[in-house]
Amino acid sequence: RQALATTAALAAGATLLPTAQAQSPIVIKFSHVVATDTPKGKAAEFFAKRAAELTKGKVKVEVYPNSQLYKDKEEMEALQLGSVQMLAPSLSKFAPLGVKEFEAFDLPFIFDDYNDLHAVTQGPVGAKLLKKLESRGITGLAYWDNGFKVMSANKPLKSVEDYKGLKMRIQSSKVLDAQMRAIGALPQVLAFSETYQALQTGVVDGTENPPSNLYTQKMYEVQKHVSVTNHGYLGYAVVVNKKFWDGLPADIRNQLTQAMADATKVANEDALKDNQDALAKVKASGKSTVYEPSKGERFLLKKAMFPVHKQMSSRIGEETIKDIYKATN
Ligand code: LMR
């Protein structure tokens, strides 16, 4: 009888006592497709730690790396359905949601370096783009950097002609499709989680990715040649389910906003070095020959790919492209 009374008292008090909250933290499931030891993987871990600190344990961020919970396409659906609360998909993966403006980030040679990139992602153009996600039930919180892409295949990739007829894995972006066709390659969309095997079995001949992904997914073990073309950029938008985010108590949302700002700073400070280190490790492995194209070779690649800007402008939206040109001038 005494036990029953205690249980009843606890149950009655539970809704009143603030300490009851501490026992059941708000859980944020954060799913992503890359390895933990990457710019995105590390930033997600940092955010989880910082969120726990700043909310004093009221929020628990569970990070699921390496597509272990969802693959590319499924994770977007899972976010909209509320099965996960947070993701950081690459910017190339938002167009299938109907937000085609994001494909501007895929345009080859649109950014010369990280300074150009940050002029967009850390300024009004970037903020305007994130706002466009709201109509899809998604709130954009930040941009996390990865890096500039290299090309890989089982043959040397020096001149534009070398890409002719190669089946190249791409992310699901029409701009990347056009970019590969512009150099005579045959683009093939595959989930990130399927890429290593597709390269290993010869389903595709090659791919493009920042060195950090090439290295941590061991793609370099099944690609004999890597060319440091830096022809395009791959990075992320950190997004949350809007309903979930708007429904959080204001103090918690503020603390999480701070944790995200801190994680973003760390992520974006480390991304360049992570990619340099990854490329050095690929070189040191001896499994892949890393080629640095000459200025002239890179110029010819740019010349072949640049018409994609015009070709894709009505799809992406001329305004977005102009905004980016202006911000990076
Ligand atoms: C890819 O699919 O190649 C990338 O988007 C993976 C990632 O998230 O970096």
CA of 24 relative to ligand 1 center, distance in Å:
33
Which residue in this structure is represented by tokens 């039930």? Answer: 137
Largest CA distance in the chain: 87
CA quadruple 17, 18, 20, 26: dihedral positive or negative? positive
* Structural element, H or E, at residue 152: strand 150-153
Give me the interface pTM, i.e. the ipTM: 0.98
Q: How far apart are CA 139 and CA 247, in angstroms?
A: 12
Q: How far apart are CA 263 and CA 273, in angstroms?
A: 16
CB 59 within 8 A of CB 256: yes
Nearest to 77 by CA among 234, 189, 188, 241: 241
Mutate to test the pocket of ligand 1, among 37, 171, 214 (most ligand atoms within 8 A of CB): 171
CB 267 within 8 A of CB 144: yes
Structure token pair of residue 304:
């072949």
Q: How far apart are CA 79 and CA 87, in angstroms?
A: 7
Nearest to 162 by CA among 225, 99, 234: 225
CA of 92 relative to ligand 1 center, distance in Å:
9
Residues with CB under 6 A from ligand 1: 33-34, 90, 146, 171, 192, 209, 213
CA quadruple 116, 119, 124, 129: dihedral positive or negative? positive
Identify the pLDDT of residue 265.
96
320: Cα within 13 Å, side-chain hemisphere = 25
Identify the pLDDT of residue 22.
52
Q: How far apart are CA 164 and CA 19, in angstroms?
A: 65
Could you tell me where the DSSP H helices lie in 102-151? Answer: 114-121, 124-131
Q: How far apart are CA 31 and CA 191, in angstroms?
A: 15
- Each of the 329 residues of the chain gets a pLDDT tens digit; together they read 344 444 444 444 444 445 544 569 999 999 999 999 999 999 999 999 999 999 999 999 999 999 999 999 899 999 999 999 999 999 999 998 999 999 999 999 999 999 999 999 999 999 999 999 999 999 999 999 999 999 999 999 999 999 999 999 999 999 999 999 999 999 999 999 999 999 999 999 999 999 999 999 999 999 999 999 999 999 999 999 999 999 999 999 999 999 999 999 999 999 999 999 999 999 999 999 999 999 999 999 999 999 999 999 999 999 999 999 999 98
